[in-house]
A = this chain, B = another copy of it.
Amino acid sequence: MHNAILLISCVDQKGITAGVSNFIYQYNGNIVAADQHIDDQTNTFFMRIEWALDGFTVPRTEITRAFLPLAQRFQMQWSLHVTDETPRVGVFVSKYTHCLYDLLFRYAEGQFKCTIPLIISNHPYARPIAEHFKIPYHEFCKFADNKAGVEAQEMALLKQSQVDLVVLARYKQIFSNDFVSQFPSKMINIHHSFLPAFVGSNPYQQAYRRGVKIIGATSHYVTEELDAGPIIEQDTVRVSHRDSLADLKRKGQDLEKGVLSRAVRWHLEHKILVYNNKTVLFD
């Protein structure tokens, strides 16, 4: 049997937890996980609650309608997810394939509850990997002067594949604002630095030049401003004067794989709420 998950945010006020848990209890639901958070600065309430649908007396298709009055009473922003839905994920990649490889291995292992119907790249390098994992691969040469046209083709592919989430697994091209705006909190990027340090290109080179003793990687939702979206996950590793630029890249790539895969998994498990350009992460 499957579970239902509610993600909720609203102004904090008395009775929200009671209201939501009563809703589940009155229809004979059994809560399997619940987490909540109150942001003191903005007086905002956040909740993730998950219950078993086995024995729940509201039919799966009626849950939204049944919950609506409560949502309206507290003026919630909310979304309902059922674990029998399988989100569809489109992956973009450029030259570096370590993140793609890692994602696909985890996908094959069953770590991600999703379907990956396509991979899009501006390079041919990842094609053998896509073929090994039997995922359609689309290659587009992309330059300043054909970007708008290529993006239209890419968008058409994503729509046609009914993609719910876009993952940029080291994709070097910057999307237009129009493109980005189609995937609000639904496009995850991996940046190979500890943001906000070393925004933009060649962060390992920047880190090497600055002589930092620790490097990092950051996964975030993509917004219009480059490398400035809500941060989902970060990780760091020590480096020393002995580490060449190539060592920084190698060490950093291991971080990138972990950081991106955790962000994707949490998103697919509906564990992330976005507000104020930050994330609440019910891991």
The A8-60 residues at the B interface (CB cut-off 8 A) are: 12-18, 21-22, 24-25, 28-40
Partner of A28, one of B14, B210, B234, B235: B14
Q: Are B30 and A25 in contact (CB under 8 A)?
A: no
A213 within 8 A of B: yes
**Interface pair A283/B21, CB less than 8 Å apart:** no
Residues of A219-245 at the interface with B, using a CB-CB cut-off of 8 Å, are 230-236, 238, 240-242, 244
A 160-209 contacts with B by CB, 8 A: 194-198
Smallest CB gap from A132: residue in B: B132
CB pair B18–A14 under 8 Å, yes or no, is: no
Residues of B with C-beta under 8 A to A30: 12-14
Contact of A194 with B211 in the complex, beta carbons under 8 Å: no
**How many chain A residues touch B (Cβ–Cβ < 8 Å)?**
63
Partner of A34, one of B25, B36, B234, B244: B36
Task: Report how far A30 CA is from B17 CA in the complex, Å.
Answer: 10
Are the CB atoms of A211 and B279 closer together than 8 Å? yes
Decide if A95 is an interface residue (CB 8 Å cutoff): no
Main secondary structure of the interface of A (DSSP, over half): mixed
Task: Specify how many copies of this chain sit in the oligomer.
Answer: 4
Instruction: Find out whether the CB atom of B132 lies under 8 angstroms from the CB atom of A241.
Output: no
For residue A75, give the distance in angstroms from its CB to the closest CB of chain B.
17
A230 x B211 contact (CB < 8 A):
yes
The answer to whether A214 touches B236 (Cβ under 8 A) is yes
Binding site for B on A (CB under 8 A): 12-18, 21-22, 24-25, 28-40, 98, 101, 105, 109, 111, 132, 194-198, 210-214, 216, 230-236, 238, 240-242, 244, 250, 254, 258, 276-281, 283
Question: 8 tightest CB-CB pairs across the interface, nearest first?
Answer: A211-B278, A18-B25, A197-B197, A18-B21, A17-B21, A213-B234, A241-B280, A214-B234
Q: List 16 A-B contacts (CB under 8 A).
A: A14-B25, A14-B28, A14-B31, A15-B25, A17-B21, A18-B22, A18-B25, A22-B22, A31-B36, A194-B216, A211-B230, A213-B231, A214-B236, A236-B236, A241-B278, A242-B283
